[in-house]
Amino acid sequence: MTTSTTSRRLWPTVLPAAAVVTVAIVGPALAPHAVDHAVGITFEKPNSAAWLGGDRLGQDVTSQLLRGGWGLLLLGAIIALLVTAFAAILGSIAALHPRTGAWIERTADLGMLLPPVLAILLFMLSWPESGAVGLVVVSVIAGTPYSARVFAAAATGVAASGFIEAAQARGERLSYLIFRELLPNLRETLLTQLGLRFVEAMYLVSTAAFLQLPTTLGDANWAVMVRENASGILLNPAAVLAPSVAIGLLAVSVNSAVAAFGRGRSSV
Amino acid sequence: MIALTGLVVRRLGLLIALLAVVFVVVDLLPGNAARAVLGRDAGADRIAAKEHELGLDRPLPVRFWNWFSGAATGDFGTTARGQSVNELLAAKFPQTLLLASVAMLATVVISLLCGLWWSARPTGFTARVMQPSSAFVIAVPEFVVATLLVLVFSLWLDWLPAVTFTDRSGYPASPEMLILPVAALAIPQAGWNSRVVRGALIDAAAAPHVESAVLNGLPERTVLLRHVLPFALPTIATSFATSVGTLFGGALVVETIFNYPGMGAMVAGSVSDRDTALVAAVVAMTGTTIMCVLLLADAIRAWANRGRR
């Protein structure tokens, strides 16, 4: 497959993700009403003044929708970046030192016994003051071992090749081996993992937000909108449906972008 | 046999490690149950009295031993408000177990059927539907799936109830109230596992002995059941086992949405109470359940590989 056909197939799957992300980021500037501005009665039906109607407090759903994405996105992106970075380094070390690999394996096994959502709940109930930082910390701890295992598997093949052995024989430092020799050869794994970790992080962040953890995440995010407006789903379905669709659209488009990217590269 | 014993010992070691993690999180993090119960403006002496009552003033190793020996024998102590955690769990855990088991059963059946169908016709209409739809349900959080289900099946079609009512036994009043919660839990898991089943079957079908079985003219069903499936089974079983954990995590959310009377809704509701003793007990019980399922997957793997080593 040539590069041009790859990119032609890549764009249609990447565009929706880019569009949702753009809307979530510039959304607050586009919101027609203030967040605490009531446009009508509680669960007002969609009308010309409020395209998606009102929520439980009669506030404009469109404005809330435009404002409610960037917080989730930012947290998701931070978690995805941190997990991928840690996992890439740990996975490389594991490939160079199998004994470290055994420890990562064990930690990942432990993670299987502790579902991430429960881990977040346990951690954030014990230490609610940790807020969004705490959420990031638990999500990174929960996601890294699994991702590191993927990196270790990918790096093992590279670590066995001659140029790594030559660098080791030269007496290069571990950091040189990881950042100069190993990771440049794992670009595809890096990018695919980054995308997958982002989907997973969005899942965790929005589920935590739905469970009102951390309490400081803000009241106008998409997950909280779904929860709070669920009671009025009969009166104004848009107040629940719109944020649900926003989360779904983002997750699916990023996921398919990752899949398209992985496929396009592997067949080149 | 020795290998299996080693596995059991390793899994038990992991379970103990999990309990230690739970204890450390609950005990060493700055949050304090006594303060949480009494509120911000409680006096120092009242907090000290409550701490003494909850045993927080004893040395750390003593507390860990007390909690651990209690947890190991199935006694999870009391919540900060003085209720017995065991009683709370006994009242709610069976309902969650019912929900999770039915969802797990649905996951296994759906993903086996879809995976089989999909791997048999990798480029047909099914594949073109399965590819994007499984990606959708894998990526989307359970509460979004649940919301869409409620909207379609309760509000637009009016076929199924959107909330669960309990009768006097504490269980949902009618079986149809289980359908939507089970679907919301099972659909994401089925999407994920269908992909695993398909992948495992395709890999197993590429093995040389399968080709020779096909060339020998064995019927398709025999090839699938006797030559492909046993090879794919360990991967499939492990994938199902890992789904159990995600199911319990998802139950927290799904039970809240459908007002289902299980421990998930209770735990999610205890967020404002900061009831760490309850959450710790739930994590410990969930971990134990998952460990048992993983052991089952190990046993299936050992059985599928019998006589092969």
Q: What residues contact residue A69 under an 8 Å CB cut-off, 6+ apart?
A: A20, A23, A24, A25, A27, A221, A222, A246, A250
Query: Taking CB atoms and an 8 Å cut-off, how many pairs form between chains A and B?
Result: 145
CB contact under 8 A, A114 and B14: no
pLDDT > 50? residue A265: no
Poorest-pLDDT segment among A116-130, A135-149, B84-98, B272-286: B272-286
B27 Cα to chain A: minimum distance (Å): 8
Nearest CA in chain B to A200: B139
Highest mean pLDDT of the ranges B23-37, B61-75, B232-246:
B232-246
Nearest CA to A86 among A132, A7, A145?
Answer: A145
And the tokens for A105? 């394996």
Chain B residues touching residue A106 (CB < 8 angstroms) = 14
pLDDT > 90? residue A83: yes
pLDDT > 70? residue A2: no
CB contact under 8 A, A255 and B283: no
CB contact under 8 A, B29 and A206: no
SS3 of residue A200 by DSSP: helix
pLDDT > 70? residue A153: yes
A235 in contact with B at a CB cutoff of 8 Å?
no
Share the mean pLDDT of chain B: 79
Structure confidence by residue, pLDDT tens digits, B260-304: 888 888 887 776 666 777 888 888 888 888 888 888 888 887 787
In percent, how much of chain A has pLDDT > 70? 82
Structure confidence by residue, pLDDT tens digits, B208-219: 888 888 888 888
SS3 of residue A54 by DSSP: strand
Cα–Cα distances in angstroms (integers) from residue B48 to residues A11, A31, A127, B44, B56, in the given order: 63, 50, 20, 6, 9
- At A85 the pLDDT is 92
Best of B35, B85, B143, B148 to disrupt the A interface by mutation (most A CBs within 10 Å)? B143
Nearest CA in chain A to B13: A110
Best of B23, B27, B29 to disrupt the A interface by mutation (most A CBs within 10 Å)? B29
CB contact under 8 A, B140 and A252: yes
A247 in contact with B at a CB cutoff of 8 Å?
yes
Rounded distance between C-alpha atoms, residue B278 and residue A121, angstroms: 11
B150 in contact with A at a CB cutoff of 8 Å?
yes
- Asked if A58 and A44 touch (Cβ cutoff 8 Å), the reply is yes
And the tokens for A86? 């840690």
Nearest CA in chain A to B291: A113
Chain A residues touching residue B277 (CB < 8 angstroms) = none
